[in-house]
Chains A and B, each alone.
Chain A
Amino acid sequence: SYVVTQPPSVSVAPGKTARIPCGGNNIGSKNVHWYQQKPGQAPVLVIYYDTDRPSGIPERFSGSNSGNTATLTISRVEAGDEADYYCQVWASNSDHVVFGGGTKLTVL
């Protein structure tokens, strides 16, 4: 089955740029979606179809996907961005939804 890998944690200072990778074999050929989850809350979609932002999500959130890595980029990081972030793909060969293990973003 298809596997996507995320680092357990990423730290960034306020105002800086955070980059959260999601690795997978030729993941650039798939579409990647990203979710933000704060403690005790349900996940919230922040990026879909690699680069698209749902309404209400700040422009500071962006996505890219190429080769073996997709990346969620958060510019001008704020304290309120501290959360767990998950990538998700649909592995069509197995008809299977796959989530990454999540990355905890810490704002220093």
Chain B
Amino acid sequence: QVQLQQSGPGLVKPSQTLSLTCVISGDSVSSNSAAWNWIRQSPSRGLEWLGRTYYRSKWHNDYAVSVKTRMTINPDTSKNQFYLQLKSVTPEDTAVYYCARDRETATTFWFDLWGQGTLVTVSS
């Protein structure tokens, strides 16, 4: 059974870096038929896609414009997991963060598997 298990701190201070890990079981971060995403959800912003990493002969990353300058998503093939780093956080970054697997065609992609979610609060 394919699962995504998230971990990371629930409290981050303003201006610091938010770091989360998503461990993949039952699939591979290097899969040629999947991509690995981070999505967050807050009452003010709803569901917001943040970015993804995927392998298609080489590694690729896509990021949402809203976080592109602050965000890094990296795969770790040795541990079959991937990471989120969001720099210079503010209280606006307070949200439940999800990792998710996507499937895609030439014209679209959708999220068929989600992690359990991690509530991250940005506060001093």
Chain B residues positioned under 8 Å from A41 (CB to CB): 117
How many angstroms from the CA of A102 to the CA of B45 in the assembled complex? 11
A49 contacts B114, C-beta separation under 8 Å: no
User: 16 new A-B pairs (CB below 8 Å) besides A31-B108, A41-B117?
Assistant: A33-B110, A42-B116, A43-B47, A43-B111, A45-B110, A48-B112, A49-B105, A54-B112, A88-B47, A90-B107, A90-B108, A94-B65, A95-B62, A99-B47, A101-B46, A102-B47
Contact, CB under 8 Å: A42 / B115: yes
Q: How far is the CA of A48 from the CA of B98 in the complex (A)?
A: 19
**A30 interface residue (CB < 8 Å to B):** yes
Residue B67 at the A interface, CB < 8 A?
no
> B27 within 8 Å of A by Cβ?
no
Query: What are 18 A-B pairs with beta-carbon distances under 8 A?
Result: A31-B108, A31-B110, A33-B108, A33-B110, A33-B111, A35-B111, A42-B117, A43-B47, A43-B98, A44-B114, A48-B112, A49-B105, A92-B107, A96-B65, A99-B47, A99-B48, A99-B49, A102-B46
List CB contacts (< 8 Å) of A80-105 with chain B: 86, 88-90, 92, 94-97, 99, 101-102
User: Which residues does chain A contribute within 8 Å of B105, judged by CB atoms?
Assistant: 31, 49
A31 to B110 CA separation, bound complex (whole angstroms) = 9
Majority-rule SS of B interface residues: strand
- Interface code B88-107, partner A: CB below 8 Å = 1, 0 otherwise? 00000000001000010101
- B6's nearest neighbour on chain A, judged by CB, is A42
**How many A-B contacts at CB < 8 Å in the complex?**
55
- Number of B positions contacting A (CB below 8 A): 20
For chain A, the count of residues having a C-beta within 8 Å of the partner chain is 24
Interchain CB contact under 8 A, A42 and B114? yes
Distance A41 CA – B114 CA, assembled complex (angstroms): 10
B98, closest chain A residue (CB): A42
In whole angstroms, how far apart are the Cα atoms of A44 and B107 in the complex?
Answer: 21
